[in-house]
Structure 1
Amino acid sequence: MKYALAMAALAVAMVGCSEQPQSHGLTRSDKAPYAGTGKPYMDAGWMAGDKAAWESHLKTRTQRGQNDYYGVKN
């Protein structure tokens, strides 16, 4: 019984050592948030790199109740 328990503990320890790393790599964007992400994600009337328009659209979204930092209610 002790031998089987020791082998099970050893198996669990070995499985933990063989797990692959779960890092995303070094993909990091150093661009400003208002620089844009690409055409498919752009809002109508907003140009990439226009900070004033970006702030205006963000303010409008917040006033309409769309807040990306607010959790979903259950």
Structure 2
Amino acid sequence: MTRAALIVSMLAAAALLAACSEKPQTVSSTHKKSDSVAWQGAPGDPFVAKGWTAGDKDSWQRQIHQRNQYQNEYNRTQ
């Protein structure tokens, strides 16, 4: 009986200590602000679409239109 109580108490202690190891969830300083306009984008990001320059509203609108046309099923079936 004492061995079972020891095992249970050690498991309870391990569960309590595991809860203390959670890392704080804070926003990093490199996070993009959500209050900026969409076409400002992320300068220096290697994953931006080709033909789009950050800060140019017209090229951003053309890129969004082109992306939407690739998702249009009517255009894809013809």
TM bracket, shorter-chain basis? 0.5 to 0.7
Partner residue, 2:43: 38
TM-score by length of 2: 0.59
Structure 2 unaligned residues grouped into runs of 5+: 73-78
Equivalent of residue 54 in structure 1, options 54, 60, 70? 60
TM-score by length of 1: 0.61
Structure 1 unaligned residues grouped into runs of 5+: 67-74
The one-letter code of the counterpart of 1:55 is Q
Q: What value does the CA root-mean-square deviation take over the aligned residues?
A: 2.5
Q: Which runs of 4+ in 1 moved over 4 A?
A: none
Partners in 2 of 1:42 and 1:59 — Cα distance? 13
- Structure 1 or 2, whichever has the larger Rg, is 2
